[in-house]
Amino acid sequence: MKLLFFSLLLLNIHLLFSQELAFPPKVNLFQHTMSQRHFHELPYARIWGWSAEGKVAYSVAGSTLAGQIIDFVILDLVTNNNVFELRMAQYRHHYTIYDETLYSFYAADILGALMLNNIINKRTDFLPFPFKANSIEYNVQLIVEYQKDQMDLGRDNVDVVSGYMVVVTANDRRKIIANFDTLSNVFVSVFSVYVAGYFLSPSESRLLVVVAERFWVHSMWELRYRFIGFNLDIGLN
């Protein structure tokens, strides 16, 4: 029995390292929001797939002064906790290592995480709110708190976002699905937040809500995205 288990384990490892990544298409998460002309380079995302247990795998790629950074995440939409995180950084390799070539250095880690979490590659579209289902129209609002900017950036008396709540609404009902503190990074001030849009899970029972934060760093505007799950089968208050 032990020999059989070990043989199957070796076979799975061999299959894992012999597979190639099947890249899902790039998605512009800012396409439903506003003009892009003020940004140096917008991050793009890939949705790698979904599991029947309510998980989604996605990655977001963006540029920094140190080169490209790609974050690969598997999010449990039930608990809104990341069950797997992998950061791929261009500066750890070579300046010519970029995008799909950078992914290839971590192919075994990505394939292993997809397999372990039963992620199946199913394409879903990125759409703007509102979302309509069963004669109910769902929308998302942001309740934002501000404070004076504490960083010495030559912007006296400028308000920055100190935190915000993400609220799903349906008719006269509502539910808070996330609460973010944007002051945890003392080197970055968030100046505005947007509802970017959503992905609908293949089972059509959960939404993956995407929110964007706009901040100023290295003399240019940049974006950071937040991903939040919402269960359509659980009623709003």
What does the DSSP 8-state code read for residue 39? B
Model confidence band, residue 69 (pLDDT cutoffs 50, 70, 90): confident
Give the domain ranges of the chain. Answer: 2-231
Q: What is the pLDDT of residue 38?
A: 59
What phi, psi does 67 have (nearest 5°)? Answer: 110, -170
List, for residues 201-224, the tens digit of each pLDDT value.
998 889 999 999 988 776 667 788
pTM of the predicted protein model:
0.84
The distance from CA 198 to its chain's CA centroid, rounded to whole angstroms, is: 11
Inter-residue long-range contacts of 25-28, CB under 8 Å, 24+ positions, other chains counted: 25/123, 27/126, 28/126
